[in-house]
Structure 1
Amino acid sequence: MSNGAGSSKVNVEGVMLFEQPFARVPFENYRKVFRTTQRQIEKDFSAMQTATNDLVERSKNGGGVDEDAVQGIDAMITRVDNLKRKLSDLNENFGVPTQAVMKERLEHLSVVEDAQTQTTPEYQRWSDTRLDRWLVDWALRTGRERTAKKITAEKGIHTLVDVDIFMDIRRIELGLVTHSCTEALAWCNENKAALRKLKSTLEFDLRLQEYIELARLRQTDEAIGYLKRHIVNWHDAHMQQIKQATALLAFPPNTTCNPYKRLYDPSRWDSLVRAFRLAVYNLNSLPTEPLLNLALYAGLASLKLPSCYDGSCKNVDCPVCDPDFGVLAQEVPSSHHVNSTIVCQISGKIMNEDNPPMAFPNGYVYSREALEEMAAQHQGIVTCPRSHKTCTLQELRKVFVS
């Protein structure tokens, strides 16, 4: 991440562009804790305000400090004590750890701003830690939790990675895979306000799926009751789907009639898994792709050429030609080079004025360094790797690229 060719100056803006989720995740968690605390305080204060108003009204009406008033005051004191305990627990179990995570992550990012060049030891250590973070992120997203935990423990980067979030994701997804919406619905209830702000339909989709499963089991009475309790109140935004769901009771699970066949399709569970993960990513400002993949995309986009997918043109030193990296490279556009470069197929080095291209009589071109090395090993004879034609070094022609 440099500012120009041959420059080792740190591109702070480019680095920080990748690090936005890294800083946003603990912030979103802290904001969630704040909202939870705020709702708890408002609920308890509202109850205490109501009790206080009752006591004031009682005194205005000439009522003395009787036994009921004393009991009301005692209840208020108990409620205040409970509120104090809850706030203390919230601060101890959520607030303080989250603040510590935010502090350590910001200190981690401050190294980038202080680094003068990419060659400084501090920046090199920071880059190594960043790679460890990306590997943990990739492992968590691909179901390799043990690998992620091992890297986290060995490198001591627990506060710099989001293991807990992905473990919760994994737990809820396992429920959906086994055709249970219980955990996912509980998560929706905890994040109801945020999901409403994002205009997410995840909760409705989960409710609809639970209704479909009741219809699949032909539990008609239970399905109708569930429809009234949990689905009908979504009529403003999902009337068409609710109408189809209502009619679903008239069709058996083996129906061939669309759209009811699609409603019974088990692949809906896979769609729910993807919808849930997308909702989690949106709520926590996480990218949908692993950060490691995003970094590789950026590098591959600068190397990819149409010839990389030509079976006759392969370079062992080219990442795009690698079978594994090539799959990722298919997702990015080909690079745009203002000035073309010619690479020797024998050595993989760029041919320029210091290492000019040399042509065989049949027209194939390779670098002078590679051909001179070949001639030195074979008594002045060079062989074209593609056509297998041989000649002396003196028969080669120097090529001038205009």
Structure 2
Amino acid sequence: MNKFNPDGQLVIEQPFLRIPHEQTKKAYRLSQKYLEKDLAFVNNHAGELVKQAKKQQLASRAQDGSAASSSATAHKLLDSMLNRLTMLKRKLSDTKADETMYLHRSKLRSVHLNELCTMTSTQDPGYEAWSHTRLNRLLVDYMFRKGYHQSATKLAHDQTIRDFADFELFRESATIEQSLRDQNCAKCLQWCSDNKSALRKVKSSLEFDLHLQEFIELARSQQTRIAIQYAKKHLLPWSETHQRQIEQAMGLLAFSALTTCEPYKQLYDTSRWQHLIDHFRTDNFSLNALADPAPLLLTLQTGLSALKCHHCYHDEDRNINCPVCQTETLGKLAESLPYSHQVNSNLVCRISGHLMNEDNPPMKLPNGRVYSYQSLQAMAVENNGEVKCPVTGQEFLFSEAKKLFIS
């Protein structure tokens, strides 16, 4: 019973390794973007500098006054190039530091998961410590997702698992989601711009939805001329895939925000902001290999699926020691799970929670309820030979209970 299959546990750990890997790739792409953009700027200025040098040479030969002007222009170009290269060095230094940090996290996480593969039983000396670390990082991840950033950060610090927590990713996500709650699309649009190629690969329409919402807000405030200009610039490029939505949006210009006419009433509905938050969260999880639902919930559901049976949701059959039977807590999490298929069952006493076997046989009361011998005997000792059924409240003599033999 103490043996386990590490591969089965590692199946749900893929995001744990993939997140720093994806973050490393993102930092590398960002550094490439900086290089291409800034080097193109420097090359253009270098070409202009060559032209100014030729002009200065010709002016010197002609001995006119334009030589000084060309020299001043050349100095400005050199200063601009130097400033741009200095900024590039600083930005590349930052991205390099990020890459190093994410690679370090990947290494530590790989070592952590590899520890599990060296164990063969839950009785292994290191298994309890490993499980404790896993529980803490799952809790940190869940708290970050729910917005409890200070608590998550403190737990990560106290348990020395900073490298197992994705602080930067969740903080950026929280900032963008808060801006959307404040009905501001700017930060989310910038995020879309930074991840344009990745969003295109997954065929995301988030950027269009954000531009559409900004158009709706312009229509809501009756800024018709600005709204039309905005639509030409930001909505028309999407006409090939979102023609119908664009046509409906343009119709908003003929209706006020108080209209009851569909679909314009729905377009003006402020609940669209929550839709944008959900859309961003989905795309963000997809791009960063974040599991949805949270790994903590997946882990709990994995265990609950092995315990759930048809008796768990019948009041008269619930077991106080069964987590699925706790319908207000873990039972809610197990509602959508299938029932477990149990070929060999274990009988558990409803009173004590102990297994009923040959050393603690099941005993049947006259009302048909079954409890363990040890529980009924302990109850009889305290009540002058009488036992009370905890489900029905009926009282019987301990001698009336009959031993059951299971075949």
* TM-score normalised to structure 1 length: 0.88
Matched positions, count: 393
Deviation at 1:234, TM superposition (A): 0.4
Deviation at 1:398, TM superposition (A): 2.1
CA contact (8 A) 1:235 1:242 kept: yes
In structure 2, C-alpha distance between the alignment counterparts of 1:122 and 1:377, rounded to whole Å: 43
Aligned to 1:20: 14
What amino acid is the match of 2:3?
S
**Matches of residues 143-182 of structure 1 in structure 2 within 5 Å?**
143-182=147-186
**Matches of residues 349-368 of structure 1 in structure 2 within 5 Å?**
349-368=354-373
Deviation at 1:120, TM superposition (A): 3.0
CA contact (8 A) 2:192 2:207 kept: yes
Aligned to 1:258: 262
**Matches of residues 195-344 of structure 1 in structure 2 within 5 Å?**
195-322=199-326, 323-344=328-349
Aligned to 1:3: none
What amino acid is the match of 2:353?
G
1:32 aligns with 2:26: yes
Deviations 1:182-226, CA, capped at 9 Å, x for gaps: 111111111111111111111100100010011011110111111
Runs of 4+ in 1 over 4 A off after TM superposition: 44-58, 66-84
Deviations 1:61-104, CA, capped at 9 Å, x for gaps: xx99x988995996898499548725642454422222222222
Deviations 1:286-307, CA, capped at 9 Å, x for gaps: 0121211111001111111222
What amino acid is the match of 1:252?
S
Structure 1 unaligned runs (5+)? 1-5
Gap change, CA 1:48 and 1:163, over 3 Å in 2: closer
Moved more, 96-105 or 271-280: 96-105
Structure 2 unaligned runs (5+)? 61-66
Moved more, 210-219 or 374-383: 374-383
In structure 2, C-alpha distance between the alignment counterparts of 1:74 and 1:253, rounded to whole Å: 54
CA contact (8 A) 1:44 1:83 kept: no
Gap change, CA 1:400 and 1:151, over 3 Å in 2: same
Gap change, CA 1:360 and 1:124, over 3 Å in 2: closer
* TM-score normalised to structure 2 length: 0.87
- Sequence identity of aligned pairs in percent? 40
The root-mean-square deviation of aligned C-alpha atoms, in Å, is: 2.9
Aligned to 2:386: 381
Deviations 1:105-128, CA, capped at 9 Å, x for gaps: 222223223334333333322221
What amino acid is the match of 1:226?
Y
Deviation at 1:346, TM superposition (A): 2.2
Deviation at 1:390, TM superposition (A): 3.6
In structure 1, C-alpha distance between the alignment counterparts of 2:185 and 2:49, rounded to whole Å: 46
1:184 aligns with 2:188: yes
CA contact (8 A) 2:316 2:391 kept: no
1:106 aligns with 2:110: yes
1:399 aligns with 2:404: yes
Deviations 1:271-299, CA, capped at 9 Å, x for gaps: 11111111110010001212111110011
